[in-house]
Chains A and B, each alone.
Chain A
Amino acid sequence: MGTISCDLHKNELNQSGLLVVMAGDFIMDSPPASSIDLVEKIHSIKDLKYIIFKTDGLQRWDSTFLALINDIHSYCSKKSIEWIDDSLPGGVRRLLALAHAVPERRGSIEAARKPSFITVFGGKVIDFANASSDIIAFTGDAFWAFLRLISGRYKIRGSVIFPVIKECSADALPIVSLISALVGLILAFVGAVQLVMFGAQIYVASLVGIAMIRVMGAVMAGVIMAGRTGAAFAAQLGTMEVNEEIDALKTLGISPMEFLVMPRILALSLLMPLLCLYADLMGIMGGMAVGIFMLDLNVMEYYNMTKASVSLNSFWIGLFQSFVFGILVAIAGCMRGMQCKRSASAVGEAATSAVVTGIVAIVVATATITLLCNVLGI
């Protein structure tokens, strides 16, 4: 533990100064208790002309000591108090000189200055406009690449698309099974509580069937894929951007849009309906489990009721939605990946942003499609 004491001091010219006596250890593990007092003390003395140190008893010191000295030093130079550092350890003086060798950067304070409300608000609006035009531009680019693909201007390589297909289908099955079965189960439970009161538990089958096939299967598959594959797309492309791999493609005249983005959009949008189909099935199974084990319905009863109540239209609407979600999730993931800045943390941000964008897009699209179906009477 270091100790600091200070005394008024007079020099030959009878000017008033301060003698600071420091002794003991000044290390991070046992900081001196009285450092604040010292600074306050210096501030309180008027007409202070110089500061002199006495450090004979100083034992061990580290950066905490240096910071304290530096604090006093900058106060002294501001108030033009003479700084007599002869008795400070040589290391301290050299480090202090090193710290002041390069003048403090001006202008960095300007960046920290708080902008006015109007600046912030205007900035947000401009950001939003830019982000919207980015989305439109990216979608347009993707559509152009798709047209070039179907007109045979380039081919998609098997070695690129097959890993993506695996990622969008087989790899996702376990999680899709679990989530959709549970969602079916939950729907059945919620419905059963009400329907049992009227002795209409058989309608649980209709409820679960219609809900899963028309909306929930597609939405659940979409949300899972946004969290799983959309994020993976963003991370993959973002890492490629950080590693200059995208630049390497561009300088070879290979469009990243055609080489990287198109296979991902195609794979996900074509496989999503299949995943949705699977999610529908798992959801109905979940509902059936509740029906059989809690409501004493038998399997054939449940099956027939489901078949009777779900129309083919609902089925097509579900598949169509999942196709749309596939495109949205893939575009969100790829776009955030391609927009990634060149740092490791940017890749994380890109993945997060891809999931958020994907899920928001799914919800908005669901609402839009549901509304349209209502208006059109499908």
Chain B
Amino acid sequence: METSMAIHRHCIIVENLTMAYGSSIIQQNLDFIVNQGDIFIIMGGSGCGKSTLLRHLVGLQKPSLGRILYSVAGHNKEAGWGQSHDAGAGKTQNAGAGKIQNAGAGKTQNAGAGQSQKADGKKGESVSFWDTSPDNRRLLMKNMGILYQSGALWSSMTLAENISLPLEEYTNLGKSSIRELASLKLALVGLAGFEDYYPSQISGGMRKRAGLARALALDPEILFFDEPSAGLDPVSARLLDDLILELRESLGATIVVVTHELASIFNIGTNSVFLDPVTKTMIASGNPVDLLETSDDERVVKFLTRGEGRQKV
């Protein structure tokens, strides 16, 4: 894990991004890079376009201007993905299931990523979601896991079926191994034994964790969290933060979090971007802790200190 941290491979590159609904601009001139292994925080006041930025990052909305480039290891690893994707994906999944340990699954992926880096030497190659081929786009989608604000579990399916759907869609695994994987993912988020519950039968916090289990289903390289602590009590929010840190460590995933929860921001963030709703652009970026100490922008300091200003420091 440490080595890949040191390489600082770029994972997502946002270039001159402008987001707009029709003619009303939400944010413009966004330029930032998410490195591999980062826990990247998108922060800003309410209504500044944080969630919209996330929707752009996961490919739900097309940028009005500029581009978003991704370089996921899988892209280099399986260049001829169109024909052999099922077999390749299956192998990774089997390795994870065999060891019944998330560390195992993580290692498999990291090893693969590292090798492809050395073998191909295509370090800088990245693809834009909207300009790439359908196969590449599918590969990108497979490598992104998203936890939506309310969990967004499919309400007509049980938790196990929710987690199985991505696996059925992207792998050739048999029914029993898919079921096994689903149980494992549920156990990872502390929901062992809830396989056959429907989303309406569990609490909001559990739904969120089940949503996380679904996001983890395909061992994605990038995980997106939309307001993970919204609607959770402080202890659950803290536990979720710890889980995010653990996932970064053990799966080697890159994590993008949209939040305005200060405790989380300082606790887990390693890099960030601060969006301002008035100027409609980013006004700060970097490690949130450093930002708190060094930023000379009043708006950023105000946000990071709950409006109290920097008196303690």
List chain A positions with a Cβ less than 8 A from chain B.
Answer: 159-160, 163, 236, 239-240, 243-245, 247-254
- Counted as pairs of residues, one from A and one from B, with CB atoms less than 8 Å apart, the total is 48
| B146 surroundings in chain A (CB, below 8 A) | 248, 251
Most buried by A among B138, B141, B152, B153: B152
Q: Using an 8 Å CB-CB cutoff, how does the interface string of B139-152 with A read, 1 for contact, 0 for none?
A: 00110101011101
Indicate whether B58 reaches chain A with its CB closer than 8 angstroms. Answer: yes
8 Å CB contact of A251 from B58, B154, B155, B156: B58
Say whether, besides A252-B141, A253-B142, A254-B169, A247 and B161 are in contact (CB < 8 Å): no
Is A247 a contact partner of B152 (Cβ separation < 8 A)? yes
In whole angstroms, what is the CA distance A251 to B153 when docked? 13
- The chain B residue sitting closest to A246, CB to CB, is B152
8 Å CB contact of B148 from A239, A244, A254: A244
Q: Using an 8 Å CB-CB cutoff, how does the interface string of B113-157 with A read, 1 for contact, 0 for none?
A: 000000000000000000000000110011010101110111111
Is B60 a contact partner of A159 (Cβ separation < 8 A)? no
- The chain A residue sitting closest to B59, CB to CB, is A251
| B166 surroundings in chain A (CB, below 8 A) | 252
8 Å CB contact of B156 from A163, A248, A250: A163
In whole angstroms, what is the CA distance A163 to B158 when docked? 14
- The chain A residue sitting closest to B141, CB to CB, is A253
- Give the interface size class of chain B: 20 to 34
| B214 surroundings in chain A (CB, below 8 A) | 248
In whole angstroms, what is the CA distance A245 to B169 when docked? 16
- The chain B residue sitting closest to A154, CB to CB, is B169
- The chain B residue sitting closest to A254, CB to CB, is B169
Most buried by B among A163, A247, A253, A254: A253
4 shortest interchain CB distances as A-B pairs:
A244-B152, A253-B141, A244-B148, A248-B152
CB distance from B286 to the nearest CB of A (A): 28
CB distance from B93 to the nearest CB of A (A): 15
| A252 surroundings in chain B (CB, below 8 A) | 141, 165-166, 169
In whole angstroms, what is the CA distance A240 to B153 when docked? 9
CB distance from B134 to the nearest CB of A (A): 9
Q: Show 29 A/B contacts (Cβ-Cβ < 8 Å), sorted by A.
A: A159-B157, A159-B161, A160-B156, A163-B156, A240-B155, A243-B155, A244-B148, A244-B149, A245-B152, A245-B153, A245-B154, A245-B155, A247-B55, A247-B60, A247-B152, A248-B146, A248-B148, A249-B154, A251-B58, A251-B59, A251-B60, A251-B141, A252-B166, A253-B137, A253-B138, A253-B141, A253-B142, A254-B165, A254-B169
| B156 surroundings in chain A (CB, below 8 A) | 160, 163, 236
CB distance from B82 to the nearest CB of A (A): 14
CB distance from A193 to the nearest CB of B (A): 50
- The chain B residue sitting closest to A163, CB to CB, is B156
